[in-house]
Structure 1
Amino acid sequence: MKYLKYILVLLVLTSCSSEDSNSLINDPNLLSTYLEDKTIETGAVIACSANSSTNSEVVETYFYPEGNASNFKLYTTSSSDVDPNTFSNYRLVTISDVPFFNGYLRKFERLSTTEEWLIVTYELDGEIKLSNPIRTKNLTQPSVFSNAIVINQEEALMPVFNWEANSGMNNAIFFQVLSTIDDELISGTYTYETHFQYYKTSNVVLNITDGIPPDLTLGQDYKFTIMDVSEDNWVNEVFISQFTIE
């Protein structure tokens, strides 16, 4: 009789352990569950994160919604001390995205008192597209904001923008946006070099501009924004400068 009790207890414990394991595996909020039996493409979403310029406790995650992309989602790990390439480490964040640069880009904004890994996903053409993992550094390496851009307008209506990266070896690429004062995007480009000329693409390694951008207007005010992005997709520094076409 005593042995029968032991067996029953063992069966109950095994059953509970199995149920807990199945519950975890089938948790609908896990990224691994969302991707199960789906066609996916990793590294397909252009995304990065930075501290907010107005609130150091807010992390903003920017992404480019290609074509007719839909169902934008943000997933996060519980800490930065996990494998960023294991999808079961990521859990859905219940948050809505908002337009950025008048909707040409979009972003998630959330309070964060920890550092973690993030992945942005969306659906496009029957596939789930994923960003590369983003390592937030909002506590150990907050994003720096600066207006230190040198603008040379010797060539009419085609200003040359130069800046210096303070991030050293942390830098991977620079993302530039030329926009109106009202943040309507005119051109969006990526370079490895710390200079860009509107609109010459000889040193552009990725171009997200929609078609051929318009000629700039003499006497018109514009804004130039640069994001210095690290290899793990954290924005080390943001440069923003307003200027007038001369």
Structure 2
Amino acid sequence: MNKFKYFLLAIVLSACTSDDTADLIENSNTLTGYLQNRSVENGAVIACAGNTEDDTFNVEIFFYPEENATNFRLYETSSPDVDSNEFLNYNRVLLDDIPVFNGYLRKFTGNFISERWFIVSFEIDEEIKISNPIRIKNISQSTLYTDDISINQQESQMPLFNWNVTSEMNNAIFFQVLSTTNNDLISGTYTFENQFQYYDTSNVVLNITNGTPPDLTLGEDYKMTIMDVSVDNWINEIFVSQFTVE
């Protein structure tokens, strides 16, 4: 009789353990479960997303990895019609991240046939940093692509870049990357204005360039990439233009 009671108790304990393990596995895939009992800094990851030029279903989620950041993660909602600030609505997406502009940025890439919200996270010194919600609009408002950048080189080796804004209502900020033709970043800046001069930071609101960038070489080819980003971190338009320094 005692052996039978012990056998029943073992079955009950085994069932409880299995249930608890299942809950832990499920919670490990949710943003709420990941953040539980951890030090968290909200809005601390700079991130945005846009679709590629040749495939609107192919979405790239770019983010700026701070020095010594680890454990890059991406979380998504099931639809755009949920509270984007409620972490319970986010589950982890298992996508690999790759470096962009020689590691100054990183990105997740995936195919999405429906719109949703994303949040990017990483860890530094045991603290989790997360981005503001990113609303992908690849179906309703796909990212536009153009090379229409005005480049004024009256000041030698200090080109002035100007570009048009498709919709001021949708725009929140501009991100500019001046790079080599091989996409090695030279300078990375954010402005509220639709102009930037290399290397005049008087209208720059955020600078991700390490140190002082080098002088541009006369006669060399460079590339300017500009992202027009909305308040919900969707890339409205991407400008890319190659030019020769005068």
Q: How far apart, in 2, do the equivalents of 1:192 and 1:55 lie?
A: 29
1:92 corresponds in structure 2 to 92
Q: How far apart, in 1, do the equivalents of 2:25 and 2:59 lie?
A: 29
How many matched pairs?
227
Structure 1 residue 30 displacement after superposition:
0.3
1:214 corresponds in structure 2 to 214
Structure 1 residue 229 displacement after superposition:
0.2
Q: Which runs of 5+ in 1 are unaligned?
A: 1-18
2:107 corresponds in structure 1 to 107
Q: How far apart, in 1, do the equivalents of 2:121 and 2:54 lie?
A: 26
Structure 1 residue 27 displacement after superposition:
2.0
Structure 1 residue 103 displacement after superposition:
1.5
Q: How far apart, in 2, do the equivalents of 1:24 and 1:140 lie?
A: 36
Q: Which runs of 5+ in 2 are unaligned?
A: 1-18
Q: Report 1:80-159 matches (<5 A).
A: 80-159=80-159
Q: Which amino acid is 1:75 matched to? A: Y
Q: Report 1:177-188 matches (<5 A).
A: 177-188=177-188
Secondary structure in structure 2 of the residue aligned to 1:168: coil
Q: How far apart, in 2, do the equivalents of 1:221 and 1:183 lie?
A: 12
Structure 1 residue 26 displacement after superposition:
5.4
Q: How far apart, in 1, do the equivalents of 2:203 and 2:190 lie?
A: 9
1:62 corresponds in structure 2 to 62
- Give yes or no for the alignment of 1:235 onto 2:235: yes
Q: CA RMSD in A?
A: 1.5
2:161 corresponds in structure 1 to 161
The answer on whether the counterparts of 1:31 and 1:91 sit within 8 Å (CA) in structure 2 is yes
Give CA-to-partner distance per residue, 1:61-95, whole Å, 9 cap, x none.
00000111011000000000000111110000011
Structure 1 residue 168 displacement after superposition:
2.2
The answer on whether the counterparts of 1:25 and 1:33 sit within 8 Å (CA) in structure 2 is no
User: What TM-score do the two structures reach when normalised by structure 1?
Assistant: 0.90
Identity of aligned residues (%): 60
